Chains A and B, each alone.
Chain A
Amino acid sequence: MLKLWLAEVPPRGKLYLALLLAALLAAPLFVDGYLLSVLILVFYFAYLGQAWNIMMGFAGQLSLGHALYFGIGAYTSAALYVHLGVSPWFGMIAGGAFAAAIGAFIGALGFRFKIGGVYFAILTIAFAEFTRILVDHLLFVGGSGGFFLPISGRSSNDLWTLRGAPVMFYYVWLAFTVGVLILCRALLSSRLGYFWLAIREDQEAAQALGIDTFRYKIFAVMLSAALTACGGVLYAFYNNNLFPSAIFSINRSIDMLLGAIIGGVGTLMGPIVGAFILTPLGETMTALVEPLKGLGAKLDGIKQVFYGLCVVLIVVFQRRGVWPWLWRRLGLDRGEGR
């Protein structure tokens, strides 16, 4: 099946893809700790952007509360690990299932009551904020004081409990990013994927064709939520500390969609391209202003100002994102930019 999909990618695209993958696989041999952490951040943006894209880009449902699913994954797996010693991989299953259930609940409420567009987006924010305040008061996960995972020596890598050095996390994040890309590719050529695209383009027409739009929109929310929760698990075990105000904040929800927006909503490579553009530029920005800080300038927010301006520029000048444009530039144009 993989062969079939690869056949659709033009030869030059295959070459670029292979080169990129090889470079990323070999990267930890050459880069230092800082660059490694930047690359992990790139995967973080790419993976979560991809998960968000399933809901918005494929099924056309705007969520601005994905921090909720992220946090459910992070907190469920961390609580299971700290209190019961359960491996994060089982935590991931539990957190993913939990997030999917909550997603189905929110989706069902929203879609059943015909809450569309902007109102649905605000509903998702409301649920995320509601949960943030709730977790602030859940003492068995530390409340607002934060929840911490025990850090055992970073010298030995234990994949089973996800305790180890950044290099291990690098490969885990890379595997997840590639995995979700393949999954999305598979979805797009499945029945389900075609149903989603139909719903995105014209829900009433889709319904008229006999597609159970309610059901397939719920599927999109559930899958997107579960994948986002898996990202939350990785984040929890990589960062080892969780604060409700940071995990469930609306800024995290917005972070998740930045990559996809900049790269191109609804495209497969969009979130990845967006993440590769945003993160290094943001980090460079921070590094560039570092010397100015010594002069007493307060420049802590510069990265966010920059991200914000990037999105404004994209919306104004390159509405469909960078990837469709890049696709043509790279000479890959043989039809629609995917």
Chain B
Amino acid sequence: MPIEVYLNQIASGVLTGLIYGLSALGLSVIFGVCKIVNFAHGEMMVIAMYAALLIFRWLGLDPLVSVPIVGALLFGFGYVMQAGLINRLIDVPDHMQFILLAAIAIAMVSGCLMIFGPDAQNVQLDYAYDSYEVGSLLLDKVRVFAGIAAIAVAGLLAAFFRWTWIGKAIRACGDNITGARVVGLNVKHLFALAFGLGSVCIGAAGCILLLLVDVQPFLAVEYTLLAFVVVIVGGLGSLTGALLAGVLIGVSEALAGLLIQPSLKSMFSFGLLIFVLLFRPQGLVGKRA
């Protein structure tokens, strides 16, 4: 096979991987601050995809344009979920929280199934088949847009956490909850904000992903697992780690699809996950806790 085939495949893997990374950021923020493993991650992403789909059908808005709208919706959802439900259960054992979110996930995905049916649905964009030629590389226009949008949202989030007062306060809660309480931070409100912000990442990733794949309720579980893989490989709580690992997984999936068999691609991701869990549980970038 000519080298261009590989390069093209790698490039498209990188761009898809950026979306994986953005979605995983959502999981990472929620875990890093609230210490909640969001088992309903993929389900929230599927809901975001359906929301973008409906906006496209009703208002004709490009899913990329609806990122802020869906992001705001998901923010509200995440805030309410943390403030109304999970905040009340901070003292329950880990496994119960885990199971609680898994149960919410089941209810959500089945709800989607009831409303939208099991068939795959997508948006038809007029630039869907355009592409850019960069040297000998052929890049799909949608993929390029998707990658740029993912980087933009991730950059905004990083800037928010780094430079705004609220961002710093949220990080303080994640670092040391007792310390945060002592200095008078409203921890419950900040937790809910963090869950909301994580949900914004999920919502944005869902909108962007809708450009590339058809939406279907049963994909939710796969997205959840994919985000787990990305976050653990990258290192929980690390923003750059999540993006890097997303790209790594995107490329490895693309190459596995090319070299071996597309249906085997996620086996590689899970293999990588098992490997990382065993030999570098803090992730590729993360620090040991």
Contact = CB atoms under 8 A, between A and B. Distances in A.
Contacts of A261: 99
A308 interface: yes
B113 interface: yes
A319 interface: yes
A316 B103 contact: no
B114 A56 contact: no
A298 B263 contact: no
Contacts of A125: 225, 228
B85 A133 contact: no
Given A300-B113, A302-B110, A304-B107, A133 B267 contact: yes
A324 to B, nearest CB: 15
A133 B273 CA distance: 15
B100 A123 contact: no
A79 to B, nearest CB: 20
B110 A133 contact: no
B270 A115 contact: no
A297 B118 CA distance: 13
B104 A301 contact: no
B265 to A, nearest CB: 9
Interface stretch (B6-14, B88-96, B160-168): B88-96
A121 B105 CA distance: 16
B110 A301 contact: yes
A123 B277 contact: yes
Interface stretch (A94-102, A173-181, A228-236, A250-258): A250-258
A65 to B, nearest CB: 11
A245 B88 CA distance: 36
A297 B96 CA distance: 34
B271 interface: yes
A312 interface: yes
Contacts, number: 132
A118 B37 contact: yes
Given A126-B273, A308-B105, A301 B98 contact: no
B216 to A, nearest CB: 13
Interface in B117-148: 117-118
Interface residues of B, number: 46
B267 A134 contact: yes
A305 B107 contact: yes
A319 B92 CA distance: 8
A38 B267 CA distance: 35
Contacts of A117: 94-95
Contacts of A249: 221
A58 to B, nearest CB: 13
Contacts of A134: 267
From A109, A121, A308, residue with most partner B Cβ within 10 Å: A308
Given A125-B225, A299-B114, A315-B89, A118 B98 contact: yes
Interface residue SS majority, chain A: helix
A122 interface: yes
Nearest to B96: A315
B106 A254 contact: yes
B115 interface: yes
A113 B96 CA distance: 24
Interface in B235-289: 261, 263-264, 266-267, 270-271, 273-274, 277-279, 281
A136 interface: yes
B60 interface: no
Interface in A102-124: 109, 113, 115, 117-119, 121-123
Interface in A248-270: 249-251, 254, 257, 261
B30 interface: no
Contacts of B88: 316
B118 to A, nearest CB: 8
A141 interface: no
A25 to B, nearest CB: 33
Nearest to A302: B114
A322 interface: no
B270 A133 contact: yes
Interface in A216-247: none
A137 B114 contact: no
B277 A129 contact: no
B154 interface: no
Given A129-B225, A136-B263, A316-B89, A301 B102 contact: no
10 contacts: A64-B102, A127-B274, A251-B221, A298-B117, A300-B113, A301-B110, A301-B112, A304-B106, A311-B102, A311-B106
Interface of B: 37, 85, 88-89, 92, 94-96, 98-100, 102-115, 117-118, 217, 221, 225, 228-229, 232, 261, 263-264, 266-267, 270-271, 273-274, 277-279, 281
Closest CB pairs A-B (n = 3): A301-B110, A308-B107, A311-B103
Interface of A: 56, 62, 64, 109, 113, 115, 117-119, 121-123, 125-127, 129-130, 133-134, 136-137, 144, 249-251, 254, 257, 261, 297-305, 307-312, 315-316, 319
